[in-house]
A and B are shown apart, each in its own frame.
Chain A
Amino acid sequence: GENVEQHPSTLSVQEGDSAVIKCTYSDSASNYFPWYKQELGKRPQLIIDIRSNVGEKKDQRIAVTLNKTAKHFSLHITETQPEDSAVYFCAASRGTGFQKLVFGTGTRLLVSP
């Protein structure tokens, strides 16, 4: 079945450093790739997404890149701040429909002041 692998499982950085989280998906028909941030005790919230017709998308300090040939996509956070500390989940659509997603196992990011 569809599978999304996410690495690393934990990531510790100093404030101001960059953080990169990588995901690999198995379904070549996947065409939608959202990223969610879940702060401690809160619900997952969408922070950025990318569709298969673009290779990169940026929103202030956050960017996502997609390599459809290699079936890789990555989240890049620049100038990290302590409030970026959270668990981040990548996801890929199941087939070409964007309604159903398969999620990665999550990355716990810790940004130290």
Chain B
Amino acid sequence: DVKVTQSSRYLVKRTGEKVFLECVQDMDHENMFWYRQDPGLGLRLIYFSYDVKMKEKGDIPEGYSVSREKKERFSLILESASTNQTSMYLCASSSNRGRDSQFFGPGTRLTVL
């Protein structure tokens, strides 16, 4: 069974702080994703990684960066958190084998004060 875990369920940070959100998957998936979920806007792709050290910008990368130093771990970084980054952040992973869809983590609800 695929397990995707995220480092925190809830996080409260102050404006200007550097924030790290971490995601770990245990199924040797090649692809990992970070989404932001806001009411009425669905899931919007922030960044995508298809291999270690490889990344692609998604639809809303501004204000975010990512790091993938190991295959199982994908980190989302908010260099200087702002109040408009208050949101639910979802990590997902998928495999290139078997053509499976994406499996999601439980989400991190980030509040920036």
Please determine whether A98 and B40 come into contact, CB atoms closer than 8 angstroms.
no
Please determine whether B101 and A106 come into contact, CB atoms closer than 8 angstroms.
no
- Chain B residues with a Cβ closer than 8 Å to the other chain, count: 24
- Give chain A residues whose Cβ lies under 8 Å from the Cβ of B106: 42-43
Interface string of A70-113 (1 = CB under 8 A from B): 00000000000000000001000000001111111110000000
Mostly, the B contact residues are: strand
Q: Count A-B contacts at CB 8 Å.
A: 50
Interface string of A43-79 (1 = CB under 8 A from B): 1111001000000000000000000000000000000
Say whether, besides A43-B104, A44-B90, A44-B104, A99 and B31 are in contact (CB < 8 Å): yes
Residue of A nearest to B38 (CB): A105
Please determine whether B48 and A100 come into contact, CB atoms closer than 8 angstroms.
yes
- Give chain B residues whose Cβ lies under 8 Å from the Cβ of A46: 101-103
Choice from A32, A49, A104 contacting B42 with Cβ under 8 Å:
A104
Of residues B31, B40, B42, B101, which shows the largest number of chain A Cβ atoms within 10 Å of its Cβ? B101
Residue of B nearest to A104 (CB): B42
Please determine whether B43 and A99 come into contact, CB atoms closer than 8 angstroms.
no
Say whether, besides A44-B90, A99-B31, A89 and B43 are in contact (CB < 8 Å): yes
Q: A32-B101, A89-B43 are in contact. List 4 more A-B contacts (CB 8 A).
A: A32-B99, A43-B4, A46-B101, A102-B45
Cross-chain pairs A/B with CB under 8 angstroms, 23 sampled: A1-B59, A6-B42, A32-B99, A32-B101, A34-B101, A36-B104, A43-B4, A43-B90, A43-B104, A43-B107, A45-B104, A46-B102, A49-B101, A89-B42, A98-B99, A99-B96, A101-B45, A101-B101, A102-B59, A104-B42, A105-B40, A105-B42, A106-B40
A residues near B (Cβ < 8 Å) are 1, 6, 9, 32, 34, 36, 42-46, 49, 89, 98-106
Those 3 A-B pairs whose CB atoms lie nearest each other, nearest first:
A105-B42, A103-B43, A43-B104
B residues near A (Cβ < 8 Å) are 4, 31, 33, 35, 40-45, 48, 50, 59, 90, 94, 96, 99, 101-107
